[in-house]
Structure 1
Amino acid sequence: MGESSISSDLIRGNIDTIILRVLCEGDNYGYEIIKSISKYSQGQYELKEPSLYTSLKRLESQGNIASYWGDESQGGRRKYYTVTPQGRKTYHHNVNAWKMGKKLIDQLIGSGEGDE
């Protein structure tokens, strides 16, 4: 199993939180969310469109984000997403849960023999 497949498996459960992070910085549309995630990961992770839109639907149905249509003067209209106050709370809760989980996993899988 290659390094990229491990990264994708580890990231998969945190996609909603990653999207919320992007939207906490400002309203955005699908393609730009994907580009932001790639930029934040320095090109090491690329979120695929089906995963993005599945997460966006889930986040919206949970009340963590809301969507609206932009007023594009050129090209097609874009659907923008904005984080809600509940979404900001969810983001901060998920980040804290990640930090606690990371600490526990580090304890569980660290060998104690000069971890690299």
Structure 2
Amino acid sequence: MVQNPSESPPQSEPFAADLLRGHTDTIVLGVLRGAESYGFEIYKTIRDATGGLYEIKEATLYATYRRLVKDGLVEASWGDETQGGRRKYYRITDAGRAVYAKNVQSWTATQRIINTLLNVKGGTP
């Protein structure tokens, strides 16, 4: 089979990126639970956590940051220029922590249901 050069290389573990796309807000909130961070650092944290298997496009991330700030789930502030270029830092709010916890609960419940349905007797894995 010849691979189209515009396609990404095959991955060792296939996954459905479209399932992850619906959870971008929760993923970003999860990264910010530990400490405030700037935009590109959040991108690298997500990429590195998956060993490079999943990267969220920067345009998608910056739209996510704007939405999270607008919704009061994250606060943004400009960093000190002595650290290099001026960076916008993002910090999770208490409301963001609550939404994160609710979304993780929803994901866990959904995952249990999907796992159950995928293992129904008579079904093919």
* TM-score computed with the length of structure 1 as normaliser: 0.88
2:67 to 42, 58, 62: 58
Structure-1 separation of matches of 2:52 and 2:85: 27
Matched, 1:83 2:95: no
Deviation at 1:6, TM superposition (A): 4.8
Structure-1 separation of matches of 2:124 and 2:35: 38
SS, match of residue 81 in structure 1:
strand
- Note the alpha carbon deviations across 1:39-59, whole angstroms, 9 max, x for none: 111211011101101111111
What do you get for the CA RMSD once the two structures are aligned?
2.3
Structure-1 separation of matches of 2:44 and 2:121: 38
Structure-1 separation of matches of 2:49 and 2:121: 31
Count of paired positions? 115
Show structure 2 runs of 5+ residues with no match. Answer: 1-9
More helix by share: 1
User: Whose radius of gyration is greater, 1 or 2?
Assistant: 2
* TM-score computed with the length of structure 2 as normaliser: 0.82
Q: Which runs of 4+ in 1 moved over 6 A?
A: 2-5
AA aligned to 2:62 is Y
